[in-house]
Amino acid sequence: MSKVQEIISRYQSISLKEMDGVALMNRTDTKYLMSVSQLESVLEEVANHYRILDIKGVRSNHYQSQYYDTPDYYFYRRHHSGKQNRLKIRKRMYVESNLTFLEVKFKSNKGRTEKDRTKLDGLTPDLSIENENYIHETSHFEEHLEPKLMNLFERITLVDQALPERITIDLNLSFVVNDKTVDIPDLVIIEAKQERQNRHSVFLQALKRRLIRPESMSKYCLGIALLTDQKSNMFKEKIRTIKSLTHGSFIYH
């Protein structure tokens, strides 16, 4: 058992049904980057303040995400150019709970994230007519979309015992584009999901004491920047930060 798994085994649990009360489909998201060793100390420190999502005895749950974009990478290029009011479209499979959703996420220039989703029978790469209609209805985006990137990772979900806050902790990340794959096993992506930004949360205070500052990083954009020839100048500094955090542990195969 890894050190992270040993630590989270001591947390009080929360079920998927109990977590419905903090779904936070309209929220603020704040991201942070760290290494696995940094994560271990934070998890130790905040253990008495959070419950952990437990699905069938599994506390580090497996996710698979298929991202979609236009043939010329409109969503990626918009993010790369620093445009606000960004759209993200993906299918996501929650492996342990055997649930798959088509998800449409919109991030406004006010820093808020709104998510619409509809349940699917399973994770397939192509978009059906029904999928396309749902995307059109919820986002009003009507250009042709195609599968661009598969992302696999494990997620630990913490729920604050007092505040409407969820902390998602993504680790063991892999990115796949066609026949190319890159694994970043020592990278951890933290996301604080709150009704409104609250820097006084116990978890975020623990990050602040370690001088870990917010870092905007899209997993979709990271994978595209690492595995395709799309322009990535605006992400190079972020990639250097990740390489420094993980001691360059990018595994291509």
CATH classification of the domain holding 218: 2.40.320.10
Distance CA 239, CA 43 (A): 25
The pLDDT, as a whole number, for residue 39 is 97
Specify the pLDDT at position 193. Answer: 87
Number of separate domains in the chain: 1
Helical H segments across the chain, by residue range: 3-8, 36-46, 74-80, 129-139, 202-209, 219-227, 236-245
Give the range of the structural domain holding residue 201, as residue numbers without chain letter. 3-252
Cα–Cα distance list, 22 to 28, 133, 157, 164 (Å): 13, 28, 12, 6
Q: Measure the CA angle with vertex 174, ends 172 and 178; round to 5°.
A: 170
67 vs 11, 40, 103, 150, 176, CA distance in Å?
Answer: 32, 30, 10, 6, 11
Residue 78: the pLDDT is 94
> What is the pLDDT tens value at each position of the chain, 253 positions in all?
699 999 999 999 999 888 876 655 566 788 999 999 999 999 999 999 999 999 989 999 999 999 999 999 999 999 999 888 899 999 999 999 899 999 999 988 777 788 899 999 999 999 999 999 999 999 999 999 999 999 999 999 999 998 888 999 999 999 999 999 999 999 999 999 887 777 779 999 999 999 999 998 899 999 999 999 999 999 999 999 999 999 988 999 9
From the CB of residue 18, how many other CB atoms can be counted at a distance below 10 Å?
13
* pTM for this prediction: 0.93
pLDDT recorded at residue 24: 54
pLDDT reported for residue 198: 74
Q: How far is CA 226 from the centre of its chain?
A: 17
